[in-house]
Amino acid sequence: MRLYTHAACLGHHAGPGHPEAPARLEAVLQALDHDRFVALDRVEAPAATREQLLRVHAAEHLARVFGAAPQQGFSRLDPDTAMSPGSLEAALRAAGACCAAVDAVLAGEARRAFCAVRPPGHHATRDAAMGFCLFNNVAAAAAHALDAHGLKRVAVVDFDVHHGNGTQAIFWDEPRVLYVSSHQMPLYPGTGAINEHGAGNIVNAPLPPGSGSAQFREVWEHALLPRLFAFRPQLVLVSAGFDAHRLDPLANLDVETEDFAWITRRLVDLAEAHAGGRLVSSLEGGYSLTALRAACAAHVGALLD
């Protein structure tokens, strides 16, 4: 199993006091720097190419992000989303990691991969950066699997506590992608209602604030996983956010560390059943460093087993 990361992903700063801080990735890398994870094949993430980004973003969006990269200080793209001098390279490496991981699992060089990268991606739409996200890393990986590798069925699984509005919008009428999400509602960004179906390829399971392990496992076991198994994906991509954890300061679900291991094992089962084991996961949210260390280690541990 591969671990894609890059030091440049630590060089993106979103502003003083911003929750999406370099310390998050430091916490993840620290948690994975343990005997349990010695078998991880560590690979430096390449930068995404323009072609890879243009599959999911408008040329105007690329021009805006490249043009906004400041020489010093910060430039703001959205009320929550800013760039520092290191942000552009971080964002390119984050999306590039996900595409390279797809290449590796489809070439049979690895069975599974985890991308320890930031900024996250699932709120970025075709036209806009938002919600701490500049480029939609996992969407770029899905489009890469379709267009560069000719896959016919790619599952994008999102258990971040926030709805992946960007991923949903990008694949709204793309039946080769099944997008499946559990998330808290109401919560930012406000999308993800149960009646948002796209072309029948979008499945949303909103959870009310205060939902814990039982409700989380219930929607996955009874609503989301059956759709995923029925879809028979050739590749499983995961938007792995850990902010549904009960310790997270930005949301109000009470998911436990062990639940992240549980959902990961079920997604490995899905990949083994239909996708030749091929699964690529990428870090999205998670803002309690304590929870992030534990939950991310549980996730990667379950991917390694």
Binding interface with Zn ion (CB under 5 A): 160, 162, 241, 243, 285
263 within 8 A of 224, measured Cβ to Cβ? no
Least distance CB 190 / Zn ion (angstroms): 13
Nearer to Zn ion, 13 or 122 (CB): 122
Least distance CB 80 / Zn ion (angstroms): 11
Least distance CB 136 / Zn ion (angstroms): 14
Residue of minimal Cβ distance to Zn ion: 285
Nearer to Zn ion, 87 or 181 (CB): 181
280 within 8 A of 98, measured Cβ to Cβ? yes
Label residues 238-272 b or e (16+ Cβ within 10 Å = b). bbbbbbbbbbbebbbbbbbbebbbbbbbbbbebbe
Least distance CB 274 / Zn ion (angstroms): 27
Q: Closest Cα to residue 20, out of 112, 99, 124?
A: 124
- Please enumerate, as own/partner, the contacts of 73-80 that have beta carbons within 8 Å and a separation of 24 or more: 74/13, 74/14, 74/15, 77/128, 77/129, 77/130, 77/134, 78/128, 78/129, 78/130, 78/131, 80/130, 80/131, 80/132
Nearer to Zn ion, 19 or 86 (CB): 19
The catalytic residues are 123
Nearer to Zn ion, 100 or 247 (CB): 247
> CA-to-CA distance for 17 and 232, rounded, in angstroms?
43
Least distance CB 119 / Zn ion (angstroms): 12
Nearer to Zn ion, 192 or 301 (CB): 192
Q: Phi first, then psi: what are they for 203, rounded to 5°?
A: -130, 115
